Amino acid sequence: MQSHLSQDLTELTTDRLVLRSWTTFEADAVLQATPGGIRPADWSADFPSDGDRVIAGLLGDHPAWLGAHGHRLIVERDSGLVVGSIGLFWPPADGVLELGYGIVASRRGRGYATEATRAVAEFALATPGVHTVAAGVELSNPASVRVLEKAGFERRDTTLAETAEGTARFVITRHDRRS
């Protein structure tokens, strides 16, 4: 899988995806979207998910999450449909950026989350001042654990909660990157 940056840095492209920066217009559209309501024609039928709504609601309070270094919509290249989102929570803290992602249910199991995660991590690790990308995942979500493992992240620590299976922290650093 190869990823490429467009000239303006607002798009990353992979073999099957375009990862384009959210705009304030798109964030507003996500917040106003209702099931069965008016929606942009370039959204998959099950976009946005609850997680996308949460991110859209936070973008106004975190302008650093917009633009080239922030959150991106995941677009299938073949269909042109938005099928999820992925993002980096800027600014980095001591060289570490947090990553979050989600793919709509109708497109899961196709490797899109792994493909997008690899591209965004590669982009982030090439950015000055960033040496690590990290993600937390609930151990009760083995599909998300596999996404991070397939994308080259390594499990660093696990926290067990009293009422749940716990969470794990996965990281990838500059020296972990595969050429």
CATH superfamily for 4-176 is: Gcn5-related N-acetyltransferase (GNAT) (3.40.630.30)
**Which phi and psi (to 5°) does residue 156 adopt?**
-110, -40
Give CA–CA dist 34/99, Å, rounded.
27
pLDDT of residue 149: 96
- The one-letter code for the residue type at 58 is L
pLDDT of residue 70: 86
Give CA–CA dist 153/96, Å, rounded.
14
Lowest mean pLDDT among 36-40, 105-109, 174-178: 174-178
* pLDDT, the chain, mean: 88
Q: Give residue 19's pLDDT band: very low, low, confident or very high (50, 70, 90).
A: very high
Residue 157 scores a pLDDT above 90: no
The mean per-residue pLDDT over the stretch 78-94 comes to 94
The mean per-residue pLDDT over the stretch 23-49 comes to 89
CB 70 within 8 A of CB 64: yes
**Which phi and psi (to 5°) does residue 150 adopt?**
-65, -30
3-state secondary structure of 9: coil
Rounded to two decimals, what is the model's pTM? 0.89
Question: Where does 16-151 show beta strands of DSSP type E?
Answer: 17-21, 71-76, 82-93, 96-103, 132-138
Running DSSP on this structure, what letter comes out for residue 147?
Answer: H
Neighbours of 33 (CB within 10 A): 18
Token pair recorded at residue 3: 């990823």
Least Cα distance to 92 among 47, 37, 131, 145 occurs for 131
- The domain locations on the chain are 4-176
User: pLDDT > 70: what percent of the chain?
Assistant: 88
Running DSSP on this structure, what letter comes out for residue 8?
Answer: T
The mean per-residue pLDDT over the stretch 83-98 comes to 94
